[in-house]
Amino acid sequence: MSATAKKTAPLPDDIRAMKGGTPIVSLTAYTTPMAQMMDAHCDLVLVGDSVGMVLHGLTSTLGVTMEMMILHGQAVARGLSRAMMVVDMPFGSYEESPEQAFRNAARIMRETGAGAVKLEGGTHMAETIAFLVARGVPVMAHVGLTPQSINTLGGYKVQGRDAAAEKLMADARAVAGAGAFSVVLEKVPAVLADRITAEIDIPTIGIGASAGCDGQILVVDDMLGLFTAFKPKFVKRFGNLGEDGEAAIAAYAAEVRARTFPAEEHTFAAETPRKAKDK
Ligand code: KIV
């Protein structure tokens, strides 16, 4: 699917059908203007729980709540007309039981209009994924580095190296078998990502994985250079908005202090002007 070929938002089945074709383009978004900026260019927009770190200053995604995901999901939905929106299920909203997962997934879809939810976990989440899919909730799975589990994974390490490759392979097979329509592969060796992509029948969306995946995703604030607290190796900065923004703010501060802003064109005359633009 090209950026101009389709006018309505793709459905999970459309994304699934992109397996093995033109790579699926996806980014995260958390606000309306950012969603508007990417709508024409992305097939899929994820309201990621990374919002907690990049917009709210949290040190991990563990403190993200359902309310935060719903509020940002609603904002992103207002900025999209052609890309599919997926909303992350936050830590603690789905792990307890398939029933808990359904209750919260249904609330996310009802209150944001999301076309699907994403949840983290492989083999141990397969039962929950099957439960959701059977009840009308399309699921994007997420295996490899699952940031909601950093405390048990021992940090933000590469997953699936050496003997751990077979376990990750099994995780990918399990989520595909359970009915997920796509799966994010985060921070896994490139050869393993290629093996998984070749073996499972749903699209793999890589982040720190391989150019051979069926699609790619990045956190938008990372790739725009807006989030600069740290930069994972897999991030390529396609812009430097953080630096540009700080330079603009410094220029504003200097002009305010020098009384060169506001200039005459930014101020209002005492008499009612004839031209509407001056009102
Ligand atoms: O929360 C997020 O932004 C994500 C992506 C990194 C895949 O899960």
The structure's pTM equals 0.94
Checking if the pLDDT of 6 tops 50, the result is no
Is residue 26 lining ligand 1, measured as CB closer than 6 Å?
no
Predicted confidence at residue 31, as pLDDT, reads: 98
Three-class SS state of 93: coil
Q: Which of 24, 42, 108, 186 to mutate to test the pocket of ligand 1 (most atoms within 8 A of CB)?
A: 186
Tokens of 69: 């995901």
Is 186 among the residues known to form the active site? yes
In a 10 Å sphere around its CB, with 0-12 CB exposed, 13-18 middle and 19+ buried, how is residue 52 labelled? buried
Report the separation in Å between the CA atom of 194 and the middle of ligand 1, taken as the mean of its atom positions. Answer: 20
Report the separation in Å between the CA atom of 186 and the middle of ligand 1, taken as the mean of its atom positions. Answer: 9
Predicted confidence at residue 1, as pLDDT, reads: 46
Topology of 12-224+234-239 in CATH? Answer: TIM Barrel (3.20.20)
Is residue 219 lining ligand 1, measured as CB closer than 6 Å?
yes
98 vs 165: CA distance, rounded Å: 27
* pLDDT tens digits, one per residue of 24-77: 999 999 999 999 999 999 999 999 999 999 999 999 999 999 999 999 999 999
- List helix spans (H) across 18-122: 32-38, 51-54, 66-77, 98-112
Determine how many CB atoms are found less than 10 A away from the CB of residue 235: 17
Predicted confidence at residue 274, as pLDDT, reads: 79
140 vs 10: CA distance, rounded Å: 14
Q: How much is the mean pLDDT over the chain?
A: 95
Predicted confidence at residue 273, as pLDDT, reads: 79
Residue having the nearest C-alpha atom to atom 3 of ligand 1: 48
Buried b (16+ CB within 10 A) or exposed e, 244-255: eeeeeeeeeeee
25 vs 215: CA distance, rounded Å: 6
273 vs 279: CA distance, rounded Å: 6
Nearest to residue 106, comparing CAs of 77, 83, 135, 80? 135
Spans of all domains in the chain: 12-224+234-239
88 vs 151: CA distance, rounded Å: 19
Q: Please give the backbone phi and psi of residue 30, each rounded to the nearest 5 degrees, phi first.
A: -135, -10
Q: Which helix (H) or strand (E) holds 65?
A: none
Checking if the pLDDT of 4 tops 50, the result is no
Predicted confidence at residue 8, as pLDDT, reads: 78
* pLDDT tens digits, one per residue of 174-210: 999 999 999 999 999 999 999 999 999 999 999 999 9
* pLDDT tens digits, one per residue of 119-148: 999 999 999 999 999 999 999 999 999 999
Predicted confidence at residue 279, as pLDDT, reads: 62
Is residue 28 lining ligand 1, measured as CB closer than 6 Å?
yes
